[in-house]
Amino acid sequence: MIKTINVKTGSRTEFVNITQDVQKVVSDSKVKSGVCYVYVPHTTAGLTINEGADPSVEKDIQKMFNSLIPRDAGYRHMEGNSDAHIKTSIVGSSEMIIIDGGKLQLGTWQALFFCEFDGARSRKVTVKVMGD
């Protein structure tokens, strides 16, 4: 089963918790045991699993990314978004999560985040659920 989730971002750099959206795809699939593959088909956005309970963690991550990889650092790419490409390369464009009992097997504090690095935009996330 493959589904697309639409994500709308409101700022240039933003983390959007998509855990519940992905869990809904898993639930709708009726798969009880397997894997869920989540993929972002964009070169300036990615995915990460990290702390979902305290929103200051995602703000700290964004702050550090922006400090280490500033928007204007004399990059050659003429679109002006090289920083977004670099951040996406570091974060990655996919995550694979085990499914057991029809639930994503994330840790107590973990959440799945869509990472926007070149917004605001309308984006797509592809979710593939495999198993029994």
Give the pLDDT of residue 71: 94
Write down the CATH superfamily of domain 2-131.
YjbQ-like (2.60.120.460)
**Could you give the 3-state DSSP secondary structure of residue 81?**
coil
Structure tokens at 10: 């409101």
Per-position pLDDT tens, the chain of length 132: 999 999 999 999 999 999 999 999 999 999 999 999 999 999 999 999 999 999 999 999 999 999 999 999 999 998 999 999 999 999 999 999 999 999 999 999 999 999 999 999 999 999 999 999
CA 70, chain centre distance (Å): 20
Give the pLDDT of residue 68: 97
- Contact between 16 and 113 under an 8 Å Cβ cutoff? The reply is yes
- Contact between 119 and 10 under an 8 Å Cβ cutoff? The reply is yes
Give the pLDDT of residue 129: 98
